Amino acid sequence: MTKQVSLKQGTRIINSETLTDFQSLLKQETWQFVYQTQDTNNMFNSFLNTFPHISEASSPVNCRSTKEKKNDWITQGIKISGIHKRSLYTLTKNSDDSKAKAHYIRCGKILKNVIKMQKSNSMIDL
């Protein structure tokens, strides 16, 4: 049975426009709070408090939902057979060898029956 799992995926769009915006925001920052501190660790921590805000302002994270199909019935053997069938297809696509084409068709039928049986078995298990 096919299950859909909802996932959130975050991406940043980084292009010349966002980089220019990022550079201008860095130039506008005075950084006085960083230089006023005497301790190196505090300087670095205050820098790390500001830098992500500037990065986030210039190129925010765009979150979108994606749905991932989860097919529990697909076994490793089915995956390998599918790869084998695909390679047979590429071999027979431009070939005139009737034995190779017959072998490809036979493998396709076997794979189709195996998939059908595996799907029905996984439906019974539910």
Query: What residues does 69 pair with on adjacent strands?
Result: 4
Residues 43 and 97 in one domain: no
Residues 6 and 65 in one domain: yes
Domain hosting 96: range is 72-125
- Give residues with Cβ within 8 angstroms of 54, minimum separation 6: 22, 25, 26, 29
Average pLDDT of 11-17?
90
In this predicted structure, the answer to whether residue 22 has a pLDDT above a threshold of 90 is yes
The Cα–Cα gap between 54 and 112 comes to 55
Residues 63 and 107 in one domain: no
For residue range 50-93, list pLDDT tens digits in order.
999 999 999 888 888 777 777 788 899 999 999 999 999 999 99
Residues 64 and 20 in one domain: yes
Model confidence, pTM:
0.47
